[in-house]
Amino acid sequence: MHFEEIIKIIKDRRDTLQVTQETLAELSGVGLRTLKQFESGKGNPTLLTLSKLADVLGLEITLQVKNIKPFK
C-alpha cells in the first residue's frame, strides 16, 4: 500500500464518518496543520501521528508479508 493509498483511506474514512479535519484533529490530538498537510499529500507523518489518526477513525495499521504467491 503506497503513500497515496494510505492518504485516500484516511480521507475516505473521515468522509464516511462525516468528521471534519478540525474535529479529527481535536479527537486524535494531532495538530490541524499536520493533518491538513498529510491529507493534501504534502506530509511524511511519523508512525505515531498516523496511529493517532487511525485509532480515532477505527482503522488499523498492519504490516504483512506481501507474498502474492500465484498458483502455477
Partner DNA sequence: TAAAAAAGAGCTTTATAATGCACTTTGAAG
Partner DNA sequence: CTTCAAAGTGCATTATAAAGCTCTTTTTTA
Name the residues that contact DNA, by CB under 7 A. 14, 20-22, 29-34, 36-40, 42-46, 48-49
Most distant CA atoms of the chain, gap in Å: 51
Q: Report the residue number, 47 or 72, with the smaller CB distance to a second copy.
A: 47
**Three cell numbers, residue 14:** 473521515
Going 39 to 43 to 49 to 54, the CA torsion angle's sign is positive
What is the spatial distance between Cα 25 and Cα 13, in angstroms, rounded to a whole number? 14
Q: Which of a second copy, DNA, none does residue 20 bind (CB under 5 to 8 Å by kind)?
A: DNA
In the complex, the residues that contact a second copy under the rule CB under 8 A are 1-3, 6, 9-10, 13, 44-48, 50-51, 54, 58-67
